[in-house]
Amino acid sequence: MFPAVTELIPHRPPFLFVDEIVSESADGLIARRTWRADEFFYQGHYPDAPITPGVLLCESVFQTGALFMARQAMAAGAKPGEGVPLMAKISDVRFRSPVYPGDATLIEVKKKDVAAGFTMMSGSIKKADGTRILSVDFTVAWKPPEKPVQQ
């Protein structure tokens, strides 16, 4: 059994867009997310025709990438919470099909390369029936958490 998503990454509701890890390998991870009708963003995107914002679909891929990196760090001996994901680059985002309230999705990330503390990955989302939703390439750094500046 996989650890809970919230044990691995710092994201929390209402900004957590991964429900569970489905499977993992040495170079990737697959997670699941069901987009619930009561999500806060459907109130305004769009009230009479709700559709999941593309930026949040991308975020679900990035959070899945963070889960992959957290599992990699733990395999190397790190403890949960010893790092946070920092987005460095996003490229080649392609949207193919919309996601509606109630849709179940599978989110897959694959490691492409690692260099100078950065992990380059590709990500994709498909509906449970195999319909392609999006693909994206991105780069993430895994850094020790820093304390916020007190003002």
Q: What is the CATH number of the domain that holds 100?
A: 3.10.129.10
Cis peptide bond upstream of 98, omega within 30: no
pLDDT of residue 143: 85
Report in angstroms the alpha-carbon separations of 31 from 2, 7, 68, 106, 130.
11, 15, 10, 6, 14
Separation between Cα atoms, residue 134 and residue 50, nearest integer Å: 18
> What is the number of structural domains in the chain?
1
Does residue 146 register a pLDDT over 80?
A: no
Residue 99 in tokens: 């996601």
pLDDT of residue 131: 97
Q: Is residue 55 part of a domain?
A: yes
For residue 9, which of 1, 92, 18 has the smallest C-alpha distance? 18
Q: In which band, very low, low, confident or very high, does the pLDDT at 59 lie, cut at 50, 70 and 90?
A: very high
Query: Between 84 and 111, where is the model more confident?
Result: 111
Does residue 80 register a pLDDT over 80?
A: no
For residue 21, which of 47, 35, 7, 3 has the smallest C-alpha distance? 3
Q: In which band, very low, low, confident or very high, does the pLDDT at 149 lie, cut at 50, 70 and 90?
A: low
Report in angstroms the alpha-carbon separations of 107 from 21, 26, 54, 86.
9, 16, 14, 19
What range defines the domain where residue 95 resides?
Answer: 5-143
> What residues act catalytically?
45
Please state, for a pLDDT cut of 90, what percent of the chain lies above it. Answer: 80
Q: Is residue 148 part of a domain?
A: no
Does residue 43 register a pLDDT over 90?
A: yes
Q: Is residue 111 part of a domain?
A: yes
Q: Over the Cα atoms of the chain, what is R_g?
A: 15
Q: Is residue 150 part of a domain?
A: no
